[in-house]
Amino acid sequence: MSDESNLRTAESLATLFGIGRVPSAPGTAASVVALPLAWIIAAFAGRIWLLFAAIIVFAVGSWACEIYARSKGKPDPSECVIDELAGQWIVCAFAPLSITAYVLAFILFRVFDILKPWPINWVERNTPGGLGIMLDDVVAGLMACIIIVVLAQFELI
């Protein structure tokens, strides 16, 4: 595969086929798109396969974001939104398959991803490249998972 072809593929994946170019809140748009896809995977294949899909997206996204960010000369271009897909899918993989749980998973993930409390902000500052672009959203997803799992354990969602 040529360098130009690699860049086009990386750009398509990193921006989730252009979703990252929406004029406002591209990360939120990507998270919204992630929800029905997560539901379909979880409903038809199971939540473990959704988690597996999130891991694959994490690996592919690390590669794609590395190439795309380097081509743009930016550490974390706002149009790189495949990280939201991975993070949102991680939360959904631990959420019960219900509209209430998925809405809460969305809200929690977005709050952690936007506010970036510790350790998310530490990961973002200290992990460079495509891995760093992806990893802070994975940590945001894992933090949201903790709340989702506790609420599900007590049958509150």
Would the pTM of this model clear 0.85, i.e. be above it? yes
pLDDT above 90 coverage of the chain, percent: 98
Residue 2 is predicted with a pLDDT of 83
CB contact at 8 A, 140 and 122: no
**Can you tell me the mean pLDDT for 91-114?**
98
Domain residues for the domain of 60 are 3-14+26-153
| Residue 41 scores a pLDDT above 90 | yes
**Residue 19: inside a domain, yes or no?**
no
Q: Is residue 148 part of a domain?
A: yes
Cβ atoms of 115 and 79 within 8 Å: the answer is: no
> Are 137 and 87 a contacting pair, CB within 8 Å?
yes
Is 52 a member of any domain?
yes
Q: Is residue 20 part of a domain?
A: no
**Distance, CA of 56 to CA of 82 (rounded, Å):** 11
How many domains are there within the chain? 1
- pLDDT attached to residue 76: 96
Give the mean pLDDT of the chain: 97
